[in-house]
Structure 1
Amino acid sequence: MDVTDTVDRAFDTYDETTPVSKLRGAFETSNRKALVITRDHEFEGIVTRRDVLSSHEKTSRKARSLVRPVPTIGPHENVREAARLMIAGDARLLPVLDGEDLAGVVRADDLLRDVQPHLSVLDAGDVATTDVVAIEPPTSLGKALATFRTERIEHLPVVSDEDGDEAVGIVSLYDVLEFVTRELQRSQGGDPEAHMDASTGGHHGGFGAREGESDDLLELPVRNVMVETLGTTTPDESLDAVLETMIEFGASSSIVFGEDDSLAGIVTKTDLLESLTWTEDRRLPVQVFGVDLMADTTREELAERIEDVARKYRDMRVLEAKVHFKRHTERLRGVPLVLARVRLYTDKGLFVASDEGYGDGHAFSLAINAVERQILEGKTYGRSKKSDDEARDSRVYGWWLSE
């Protein structure tokens, strides 16, 4: 099944020079999770709702200060590949390129609706996260934001006591960010950046002390923001029914209750997307380019080595692996010099490394060793280098750092 019928060809784009304030307004008047950014009418990247809410970009700044690169797909890409790239790129929107032209976009919600009947083969228990991080109603918004950041999650069930026997609500990262941003703007009478000094960040009147107000907001309990546990599910409910419930309540997650009505897990739309990427045996799929150069290794051996690296360093989940082999004319005792390029999309970021060796096995070993070093050092491919001021602006009141 491909994405042909899922592609939205009537989509809006925003030039990289668009003010961030206009992007914020576009998100406020729509349910979009991401906006497409162009440069000279060519695709540049996307800006996400989370990036806008979790930053304090000054009104003079443009969309280019928040743009992030994401994978692109063709108009007839396989659904499994599209879902895999959404997860790997931490994006719920994929640009569709027809040649070099931006022909449309595929959104995660549209993709899930189109494949909904096929989700019936799995149950909530097959994909649910059972080792659930939960908080209690008195927990402060600041503590919730810190938990989102450290646990790298976007949903937190709210339980009535420390034992977690009764889930009374759920709070999402978006809930907290939107609440804090809205309340700050309401109390300040407009754009919280409108009276900031461009060089020092100091205030020039007009809306009071932002620091004190934001601190006060972060001390509020999550019960002020959480929503009741509507649209819950059970481990044996089929995933198509789980998705239907999410759509009905406009939710991006569903709490799973066990037989004794206690908290048993949580299912998110990301979990549903990930289920689309599973192969029958759930082994890591490795795309190999230059297969004819593989004399020393097999696809299975490449997958095994990559999975060993993922388990060894930071316990990563590899969502997609690509290995490119290219032969050079140079030889050593009849063995050609080969360039190997390893590209890993993971839940920790994108890692890419290349190296040369005599034969495919030697070249791959050197390249994967280079990837190991990147993973150990936490150096994801293409991470932007920000100035100290830009890094401070990407924080939400000292708690949430958009990554």
Structure 2
Amino acid sequence: MNIADIAVPEYVEVDVDERLAKVRSIFERENPKGVVVTEDGEYAGVVGEKQLLRSRMEDDTKVSVVMKTAPSVSRHEHVRETARLLVEGDVKIAPVYEGEKLYGIITVDAILQAVLDSLDAITVDQVATEDVIGINQKDRVGQAINRLRENGVSRLPVLNDDGRLTGVVTTNDIVEFVVRDQERQGSGDRAGDIDRMLDLPVYDIMTSPAITATAGETAQRVVERMFENNLSGLVVTPDGDDGIVAGIVTKTDVLRALTFTEQESMDVQITNVDLLDTTSREHIVESIEQVADKYAAMQVMHAHVRFHQHKEKLRGTPLIQCQIRLRTNEGQVAGSGEGYGSEHAFHVALDKLERNVLEIKGIRADEEYRGQLLRKLGDL
């Protein structure tokens, strides 16, 4: 399937110098699917609807400040390749060209709607992230913001003192809370109000109860639930216990599954590939394959490498966080690390990944040994 009938011409085209006030008014009046930003008539970037409407930036801010670079896609590109481009670009929207002419846009939601019927072949446990970052309901909003930023995620399961799920807090929850408070209080000196908001417990702004998915559900049913509730991700819980957090599944996770192949070489996907500086995709793939080859009994079906840039820099080189996640025949295994520059961050994460693989193999070996010992004792 290609995206010829999925891409839509419902978009707004604006110049990089256009003010946010005008673009917001266009969205509210015309309800387009997205914004394509141009500079001197050439494509420069995109802005999603939610990103624009929920931005706290002043009305006279130029749209170039909130735009994001996204790969351009041919209108006749295959859905699998389009999904890969969106995931690796870490974007929800991309411009679509027909030849040299800008035709329209493609969105994550449009792709998932188009392939919804085929998602019954995928289960949540095949695509969900098991290594979950959470937060206690008594922790402060400021702590939640830091945790979201530091880990490059958009949602946190909220837990009570017993470690059970009580809700979810997302980046959107925080933005909406701040904007709503500002509209209620009016303009003026906001420093004290911001401090007060950051000091509130997460419990006060979280969404509760959390809408969840179970590991055995199909991706089709879970994506339908996301659309029904206008959500981009759900907390995964075990069957029969919706108080235990077993993972997170997002629309991007499902989209990523569309890129999986059955080719013999390992399928490696890199999110925010534009952050690669002194290293290359080939080096990353080769390095992960070397780790996998050391443990031949562990078959790796898919590898996902995600880079996230922090604001901190050292002599001009940004601090980068790297997360590596492997889907194997023995479950998921991950490693993460930080370093100045993508190459340093990648190798820190790779070392952690290898240690985690060794730990898993060690546990498996211990279990096998204990099983053999018990069988021998049973023969006595």
TM above 0.5:
yes
1:241 partner letter: R
CA deviation map 1:228-248 (0-9, x unaligned): 245422111111111111111
Q: Name the CA shift for 1:107/1:226 in 2 (closer, same or farther; >3 Å).
A: same
Matched, 1:218 2:201: no
CA-CA distance at 1:249 after TM superposition: 1.4
Q: Is the 8 A contact 2:159 2:166 kept in 1?
A: yes
Partner of 2:366 in structure 1? none
Q: Name the CA shift for 1:49/1:135 in 2 (closer, same or farther; >3 Å).
A: farther
SS in 1 for 2:216: coil
Matched ranges for 1:136-155 at <5 A: 136-155=136-155
SS in 2 for 1:263: coil
Matched, 1:375 2:352: no
CA distance in 1, matches of 2:345, 2:56: 26
Q: Is the 8 A contact 1:229 1:255 kept in 2?
A: no
Partner of 2:256 in structure 1? 274
CA deviation map 1:34-91 (0-9, x unaligned): 5221234442211346765787644443112333321011001111111111111111
SS in 1 for 2:97: strand
1:276 partner letter: L
Matched ranges for 1:18-57 at <5 A: 18-24=18-24, 34-48=34-48, 57=57
CA-CA distance at 1:110 after TM superposition: 0.9
Q: Is the 8 A contact 2:140 2:200 kept in 1?
A: yes
For structure 2, the 5+ residue unaligned runs are: 270-281, 293-301, 310-338, 347-380
1:8 partner letter: V
TM-score for both structures, normalised by structure 1 = 0.64
Partner of 1:368 in structure 2? none
Q: Name the CA shift for 1:59/1:230 in 2 (closer, same or farther; >3 Å).
A: closer
CA-CA distance at 1:378 after TM superposition: 6.7
1:348 partner letter: F
CA deviation map 1:267-302 (0-9, x unaligned): 11111111111112582269xxxxxxxxxxxxxx98
CA-CA distance at 1:137 after TM superposition: 2.0
Q: Is the 8 A contact 1:169 1:226 kept in 2?
A: yes
Partner of 1:342 in structure 2? none
Q: Is the 8 A contact 2:70 2:94 kept in 1?
A: yes
Matched ranges for 1:188-267 at <5 A: 188=186, 207-229=187-209, 231-261=211-241, 262-267=244-249
Q: Is the 8 A contact 2:10 2:34 kept in 1?
A: no
SS in 2 for 1:91: coil
Partner of 2:91 in structure 1? 91
Q: Name the CA shift for 1:230/1:61 in 2 (closer, same or farther; >3 Å).
A: closer
1:9 partner letter: P
Residue of structure 1 aligned with 2:306, choices 304, 323, 347: 347
Matched, 1:2 2:2: yes
Partner of 1:183 in structure 2? 181
CA distance in 2, matches of 1:248, 1:84: 25
Partner of 1:305 in structure 2? 286
Q: Which structure features the higher share of helix residues?
A: 2
CA distance in 1, matches of 2:90, 2:183: 28
TM-score for both structures, normalised by structure 2 = 0.68
2:342 partner letter: I
Partner of 2:299 in structure 1? none
- Report sequence identity in percent: 32
Q: Is the 8 A contact 1:284 1:303 kept in 2?
A: no
Aligned residues: 293
CA distance in 2, matches of 1:216, 1:3: 47
SS in 2 for 1:4: coil
Q: Is the 8 A contact 1:46 1:68 kept in 2?
A: yes
Q: Which has the higher contact order (CA 8 A, sep 6+)?
A: 1
CA deviation map 1:215-238 (0-9, x unaligned): 111112222322224542211111
SS in 1 for 2:150: helix
CA deviation map 1:322-341 (0-9, x unaligned): xxxxxxxxxxxxxxxxxxxx
CA deviation map 1:131-169 (0-9, x unaligned): 2211122222111110101111111111222x42x3121
SS in 2 for 1:147: helix
SS in 1 for 2:38: strand
CA distance in 1, matches of 2:219, 2:117: 9
CA distance in 2, matches of 1:222, 1:21: 31
CA-CA distance at 1:307 after TM superposition: 3.4
Q: Is the 8 A contact 2:232 2:250 kept in 1?
A: yes
SS in 1 for 2:214: coil
Q: Name the CA shift for 1:136/1:378 in 2 (closer, same or farther; >3 Å).
A: closer
**Alpha carbon RMSD of aligned pairs, Å?**
3.3
